[in-house]
Amino acid sequence: MRKRFLSTIALAGAAALTIAGCSSDGDGDTPDDAATGSTGGSETTETITVGFAQTGAESGWRSANTESMQNAFSEENGFELVFNAADNDPAAQISAVRNFINQGVDAIVIAPVVEDGWDDVLKEAQDAGIPVILEDRTVTAPDDLYAAWVGLDFKAEGVKAGEWAVQEFGDEPTNMVVLEGTTGSAPANDRAEGFSEAIAGSAIETIDSQSGDFTRDGGKSVMEGYIANYGIEGIDLVYAHNDDMGLGAIEAIEAAGGTPGEDIKIVTIDAVKDGMQALVDGKINFIVECNPMLGEKAAELVKAVLNGDDVEKVQFVEDQSFTQEQAAEVIDSRPY
């Protein structure tokens, strides 16, 4: 295993990074000549060792994201991937990153479980001359402690979901329950904020909101509690921060004798295969996509940073949204 550059070079490269706003797509020039034949940056021919700290395997989205990363950081693409899944434990994830630093990997990619608590370990990576790329989720640490971030606009996802809810229910008084993602995580925070902004001034009222931790079992358990408290007839709308929790809510509604998608409308975020099938079946009413295929862009960023190229600090990947009819048209062709 060979370190790509010294700490002073890493710091100089970080200073050269430019911050960019949301773009409509995640495409960009791949700066590694050896990998792509494009110009710019010095060639990298040796194997790049990358430590990837994943959140866990809590959902279908996360599994698709892991597969995308493993495919992109493959031996065929010039990488050796050291993989760790933290089972949604922030302390375990930080420990994994420290292990990567001690192993002397060339670069580290992190999908942070939560936003807070990253300052110290990111500074340790910087001091060791190991660049960090954030993938999917963000952190509250100063942005000079990591090289770049690639992911989705979680707040915009929440806005899209909320706009659909307002259009669907209009001025009709609506009792909504929320299935929140992991407490303190960027997608849970931002999707809540975006949705709230979109429904402001409408007749939609949040009567309860709890975390299902982005899991199907969590969504089912929380929804069972909602039904026990309010009854099927007392809930008009479920807003789930991801498909898996929405799928859990479907199980709870059906077990209670209700018809999901009719007695209680459901809007979710992710657009994984099981969620899209539930949308096609009419059990979910609207889905906002959160594209998990971030591996290729993350690999491009690692190579660019190691080559000393300037990269945009913030890089968004495009999302879509789906009605039942739209889902039926594309479900068979989607890779996740």
Write the pLDDT tens digit of every residue in 77-107: 999 999 999 999 999 999 999 999 999 999 9
In the predicted structure, residue 21 carries a pLDDT above the cut 90: no
User: Phi, psi at residue 214, to the nearest 5°?
Assistant: 65, 15
Inter-axis angle of helices 273-280 and 60-72, to 10 degrees?
140
Separation between Cα atoms, residue 209 and residue 189, nearest integer Å: 13
Q: Give the confidence band of 31 by pLDDT, cuts at 50, 70, 90.
A: very low
- Find residue 205's DSSP bridge partners: 175
pLDDT tens digits for range 160-170: 999 999 999 98
Among residues 146, 167, 170, 113, which one has the least CA distance to residue 286? 167
pLDDT at 38 over 60: no
Round the average pLDDT of the chain to a whole number and report it: 89
CB 307 within 8 A of CB 31: yes
Q: Is 8 exposed, middle or buried (0-12, 13-18, 19+ CB in 10 A)?
A: exposed
Average pLDDT over residues 139-160: 97
C-alpha distance from residue 102 to each of 51, 127, 128 (Å): 11, 12, 9
Please report, in angstroms and rounded to a whole number, the separation of the first and last CA atoms in the chain.
Answer: 33
DSSP letter for each residue of 55-66 = --S-SHHHHHHH
CA distance 51 to 27: 23
Is CATH 2.40.50.100 the classification given to domain 7-152+291-318? no
- For the stretch 53-62, pLDDT in tens is 999 998 889 9
CB 200 within 8 A of CB 166: no
For residue 271, CA distances in Å to 103, 150, 210, 259 come to 37, 19, 21, 21
213-251, pLDDT tens digit by residue?
999 999 999 999 999 999 999 999 999 999 999 999 999
Of residues 265 and 31, the one with the higher pLDDT is: 265
Burial of 325 (0-12, 13-18, 19+ CB in 10 A): exposed
Q: What are the residue ranges of helices labelled H in 16-169?
A: 33-36, 60-72, 90-103, 119-127, 154-169
Which residue in the block uniquely carries the two structure tokens 């889905």?
Answer: 287
- Fold (topology level) of 154-290: Rossmann fold (3.40.50)
Q: How far apart are CA 136 and CA 308, in angstroms?
A: 23
Full-model pTM? 0.80
Distance of CA 6 to the CA centre of its chain: 31
User: Averaged over 259-269, what is the pLDDT?
Assistant: 98
**Token pair 């229910």 in the structure block, residue:** 169
Residue 41 near residue 266, CB atoms below 8 Å:
no
Q: How far apart are CA 301 and CA 310, in angstroms?
A: 10
Instruction: Identify the bridge partners of residue 209 per DSSP, sorted by sequence position.
Output: 178
Distance CA 133, CA 323 (A): 34
Q: Where in the chain is the domain with CATH 3.40.50.2300?
A: 7-152+291-318, 154-290
Is the model more confident about 325 or about 6?
325
Predicted pLDDT of residue 25? 34
Which pLDDT band, with edges at 50, 70 and 90, does 45 fall under? low
User: 3-state SS string over 208-245?
Assistant: EEEECCCCHHHHHHHHHHHHHHHCHHHCCEEEECCHHH
Cα–Cα dist 105/51, whole Å: 6
3-state helix, strand, coil in the chain (%, to 5): 45, 20, 35
